[in-house]
Structure 1
């Protein structure tokens, strides 16, 4: 496991790049190498290398407009004497804070430490607080759930035309931004489940509505996914002891679940509708987490298609 601190990215990648670009800017403004070295706090030999050598720079920083504006402000301030070292430091710190808030530093950090990829990490900005820890756990849960969905033999045949999504809510969610799901949805390609991206909060509408209604009715139910409504799958659910609950396809998405759960007296593991004009028939599988919901689907798919069943959806 690689362990890279964000401060390392700042010291080893951002600051060297900033010095190179500042040296070039100041040179263009007519300052001597000695003056540039004095302003940047480096040797004249280092400045010479910045200007005539081939110093390594991080292009993700250089190409960012915020970086370019910072270089221009500091360069202009140094050149005309209107900015001292304290003010230049303040400008630099402001750039670092901006870049650490899901900016280029985060992109470089994720490349250096792949364990952070897809987590929407706010560790630099917010610290290791409880809310951040819960967000990480939910994102990790959804990510693992999608991987397990890919491993379910025969799952692709139950992916609806509109795509599938896998979602999980934070504790006490308020709206869809508190539900993590896959941007762009999960699809079936050549008989295989394909996941287009890592999960993010606020990436789903339909599954988020289902999860929010479920969690409101039962706080222990925070995960769900949607698949195509299929009679074999519904029969498998009944065989497994889950009595699928039929809901109105034409009702408002959140209202349909909230009303059904209130009337049912809880959240059943499987909820489905038969579709309507322009609305594809969809079945929702719920669980305490996204992983639990996918595991439940895996059980149902195994019962529905059997070890040697065909490839088409049930009728």
Structure 2
């Protein structure tokens, strides 16, 4: 694990960039390099590098509208004598807080710490929020489930043409943004399973619809995986004492239709399927309490279907 604090990025990437921007703005407003060095608390040699464009820095901050506006405001205030060092520091601290809230600092932090990727992280804003832990657990579970599918023998033969996805929701989900899935779906290529990206919240529509329908009727099945409908797999489900539930594919509001079918059935089944319709590929949904549970059930179905 690479443990990187946001403050390290502020010191190493943000501060040099902002100093260079300020030095340039102050030079444009007529201050000498010695005066600029005094204002910024750096050496004249450093100011020379800043003004000459040799200071490095990060274009994400240079191009960020909030950063540009703040730097211009500080430069104008210092030149006009309306700001001192205390005022400039207060402006920069406020800017840092803004940039940590889904801004460039947050973006850099996710790049530097792979554990943060895909979380939509609000750690700097919300602190040790239990919701963040729940999000991390769901994302980790979906990631493991996707890898489980990729290593399941014969799985490539049951990936629909539109691709497979695995989704899992947070407790008490409101909409598809509370369902984590793999962006771009999971595809079979050359007999292998390809997982294009790490899971993210809001990355699925169809699997999320099934998951949300399951939760809306009080089920503890918070995850689902879509695979191709196959009679051998349905027979394997029955052999495993699972009664697959058929539903109609040709519904404009599939979520509402699934909710009605689940309610009529009296529970959310482990397997639900449809035979397709015009322009709609046949699909089967395998449900589980977690994404890993659903992936393991897919493996059990494939194994049973392939047994003599």
What TM-score, normalized by structure 2, do the two folds share? 0.92
Aligned to 1:297: 298
Confirm or deny: 8 A CA contact 2:182 2:200 kept in the other structure.
yes
Query: How far apart are 1:219 and its partner, in Å?
Result: 4.0
User: SS of 1:121's equivalent?
Assistant: coil
User: SS of 1:285's equivalent?
Assistant: strand
Aligned to 2:32: 32
Aligned to 1:246: 246
Residue 280 (structure 1) aligned with residue 281 (structure 2)? yes
Aligned-residue CA RMSD (Å):
1.9
User: SS of 1:10's equivalent?
Assistant: helix
CA-to-aligned-CA distance 1:161-188 (integer Å, 9 cap, x gap): 2222211111111221211112222222
What TM-score, normalized by structure 1, do the two folds share? 0.90
- Farther off after superposition, 103-112 or 129-138: 103-112
Aligned pairs (5 A) from 1:16-165:
16-52=16-52, 54-165=54-165
Aligned to 2:171: 171
In structure 1, how many angstroms separate the alpha carbons of the residues matched to 2:175 and 2:147? Answer: 26
Aligned pairs (5 A) from 1:246-265:
246-251=246-251, 252-265=253-266
Confirm or deny: 8 A CA contact 1:171 1:219 kept in the other structure.
no
Aligned to 2:229: 229
Confirm or deny: 8 A CA contact 2:219 2:268 kept in the other structure.
no
Gaps of 5+ in 1: 308-315
CA-to-aligned-CA distance 1:175-213 (integer Å, 9 cap, x gap): 212111122222222222222222222222211111111
Gaps of 5+ in 2: none
Query: How far apart are 1:244 and its partner, in Å?
Result: 0.9
Confirm or deny: 8 A CA contact 2:118 2:201 kept in the other structure.
no
CA-to-aligned-CA distance 1:36-67 (integer Å, 9 cap, x gap): 12222223333233234732312332233332
User: SS of 1:258's equivalent?
Assistant: helix
In structure 2, how many angstroms separate the alpha carbons of the residues matched to 1:23 and 1:294? Answer: 56
